[in-house]
Amino acid sequence: MSEEPHIHVLHNPGINEAARQITQGVAQRDFIIILTRCSVEYEGRGASKLGSGDRLIIVKPDGAVLVHRPTGYSPVNWQPESHVINVDVLKDAVVLRSVRRRPKEILVIRLEQVYLLVRAKGLTDKAEFIEYMDEAEISDYIARHPEVVEQGLQIISRERRVGEGYVDILARDKDNNYVIIEVKRVTANEDAVKQLYSYIEELRKANPEAPIRGILVAPSITKDALILLNSLGLEYKQIDPARLHREAKKEKHSRYSRSLLEYLERKKG
Amino acid sequence: MSEEPHIHVLHNPGINEAARQITQGVAQRDFIIILTRCSVEYEGRGASKLGSGDRLIIVKPDGAVLVHRPTGYSPVNWQPESHVINVDVLKDAVVLRSVRRRPKEILVIRLEQVYLLVRAKGLTDKAEFIEYMDEAEISDYIARHPEVVEQGLQIISRERRVGEGYVDILARDKDNNYVIIEVKRVTANEDAVKQLYSYIEELRKANPEAPIRGILVAPSITKDALILLNSLGLEYKQIDPARLHREAKKEKHSRYSRSLLEYLERKKG
DNA sequence: TGCTTAATGTCGAAA
DNA sequence: TTTCGACGTTAAGCA
């Protein structure tokens, strides 16, 4: 268990105190949140000016800066990453300047009054962002619809233990050959090929006579992996998780569509 | 002077208290900021899942919802506007569901632990956002000052419909040739060249005799685009939007200086 | 690094 | 309401 983040909050700090805290926060790579009345200027690829108003400013540890107005999805001004952020006090206001190197852009925020200043330390977020389907869901879908890999496949088993690991899908093709299917959610690399090949070797030990095919199923594959795969006599089948997801949604009982649809159904009922 | 916003802050509220506060905040259209460990699911045009991690959640009075990870410019999940936001307590977590009507999309955030919860009331931001030198403005400026492209140009028309699209500027040069000007605010690519060429082809249909020049006006051009442009007998004129911007500022009656003057007047008053 | 292409693009204006 | 095009588009993939 990772340690909890430490969060420091200031209510209505004066200009000097706010400047000091922001300076420290930037230096220490805190996640900084500021509710403030400010004006903003930007110049770079384009240019913009925004007069005084209440806004939320976010300064992230990696130098991303966002200025959000009270409405709307998109920030009114921003800096995807800052090369330099500096903080000054000028005429009764904190002036925060964020400079981006390439393209050369500068964002200047003049904080006239700070309502709330938050410095968060030690925020940790290691979770993987999974788009559309995770590996198990893709594997499930293929098990239900093996034709997306190849016509005439008959599923024999799922997650069968073979040697060190588990074969995602074991099947037979229309000529009754064994087919081992290895599923990857993202671009397949050489490791994925080696993994698939190791399963084939293991299965060959048990069935020295039977012809065994190996198919790597993934949205894309690296060049090196493709070369290795070909040299080992394996096959690659491209799938599109977005398309599979759309198809899966249409199904009534897919594992995937259950959770959110359930909610929607409950709302209706 | 408008009244100051009122800001309510909770440190480490329990799940039930957090749920109560968020429910109230949503109902009262507060600007809500939450630092929390949460997991997120989204389904709509796309779909995604994100496991547990520390994030910043923003819920705006207009129903915009943003989930920001500790790094990066863009939110990991979002909802530009919510038709309904509802809040429940489920298995020791606050579950925040934001539903968008069209397109039908749902964002579900499961808050496992709330580090900080902020409800801001009465944020006011009436300032006008002024942007300088978008494509239309550059085109306007060139129409007023065709010499920045070439000496002796006479403007014939603006935004004239030709075939599929609209020619930015149609002019005649000092030798009375037609000149089609295509304006880009950013690096011109092959598409921009093709677009310009298609206008020329259309104009040639109507005027088979007349010589027609095509000039692509942009701050820069990709290598491939330049090759294509040359091979088609077209021309490229580099302009600097920042410089045009400075020049436009000096003008009394430009669209630019008008709004800027307005802005300065308001600042003074 | 430059360039091309897709995006849960978003957003505004015009038809 | 849908369509269309610009955007400080951003962001990922590839040469």
Mapping DSSP onto H, E and C, the string for A33-92 reads: EEEEEEEEEEECCCEEEEEEEEEEEEECCCCCEEEECCCCCCCCEEECCCCEEEEEECCC
pLDDT value at residue A78: 98
Judge whether residue B252 has pLDDT over 50: no
Q: Which tokens is B152 given?
A: 């002796």
Say how far apart CA B173 and CA B211 lie, in whole Å.
Answer: 11
Long-range pairs, B74-81, Cβ under 8 A, ≥24? B76/A129, B76/B40, B76/B50, B77/B40, B77/B42, B77/B48, B77/B50, B77/B107, B77/B109, B78/A73, B78/B107, B79/A73, B79/B105, B79/B107, B80/A73, B81/A73
- Confidence class of residue B267 from pLDDT cuts 50, 70 and 90? very low
User: Is 60 exceeded by the pLDDT of residue B177?
Assistant: yes
A60-70 mean pLDDT? 97
- CB-CB under 8 Å, A70 with B123: yes
Interfacial A residues in 106-165 facing B (CB < 8 Å): 115-116, 118, 120, 123-134
At A259, the pLDDT band (50, 70, 90 cuts) reads low
CB contact under 8 A, B120 and A35: yes
What integer pLDDT is reported at residue A269 of this predicted model?
Answer: 35
Check if residue B102 sits with its Cβ under 7 angstroms from strand C.
no
Residue B200 vs residue B1, higher pLDDT: B200
pLDDT, residue B172, reads 95
What average pLDDT does chain B have?
90
Residue pLDDT, tens place only, A193-247 = 999 999 999 999 988 989 999 999 999 999 889 999 999 999 999 999 999 988 8
Helix (H) / strand (E) element for B97: namely strand B94-100
Give the nearest chain A residue to B52 (CA atoms). A127
**Assigned token pair, A165:** 């690991």
pLDDT for position B256: 44
Q: pLDDT of B221-247, one tens digit each?
A: 999 999 999 999 999 999 999 889 888
Q: Which of A155-159, B161-165, B261-265 has the lowest mean pLDDT?
A: B261-265
Q: What is the mean pLDDT of chain A?
A: 92
Q: What confidence tens digit (pLDDT) does each residue in A71-106 have?
A: 999 999 999 999 999 999 998 999 999 999 999 999
Nearest residue by alpha-carbon distance to C1' of C4 = B189
The gap between A229 CA and D14 C1' (Å) is 21
* Confidence class for position B260, pLDDT limits 50, 70, 90: very low
Q: Inform me whether the pLDDT recorded for A21 exceeds 70.
A: yes
Confidence of residue A263 (pLDDT cuts 50, 70, 90): low
Q: Find the mean pLDDT for residues A30-59.
A: 96
Report which DSSP code applies to B235. E
Residue B205, pLDDT > 90, answer no
Under an 8 A CB cutoff, do A76 and B9 touch?
Answer: no
pLDDT at B166 > cutoff 90: no
Domains and CATH numbers, chain A: 6-121 (2.70.180.20), 135-264 (3.40.1350.10)
Instruction: Using pLDDT thresholds of 50, 70 and 90, give the confidence band for residue B263.
Output: very low
Q: Which of residues 22-81 of B touch A (CB under 8 A)?
A: 31, 33, 35, 39, 41, 43, 46-56, 58, 60-62, 64, 66, 68-73, 76, 78-81
- pTM assigned to the model: 0.91
Query: Span B100-115, mean pLDDT?
Result: 96
Bond into B5 cis (ω within 30): no
Strand D nucleotides within a 7 Å radius of protein CB atoms: 2, 5-11, 13-14
For residue A266, what pLDDT is reported? 52
Whose CA is closest to A97, among A208, A23, A173?
Answer: A23
Mean pLDDT of A135-147: 95
Which has the closest alpha carbon to B33: A44, A158, A7?
A: A7
* pLDDT class of B259 with cuts at 50, 70, 90: very low
Q: What angle do CA A61, A63, A66 make, to 5 degrees?
A: 105
**Is the confidence at residue A2, as pLDDT, over 90?**
no
State the average pLDDT over residues A117-141. Answer: 96
CA distance A186 to chain B (A): 14
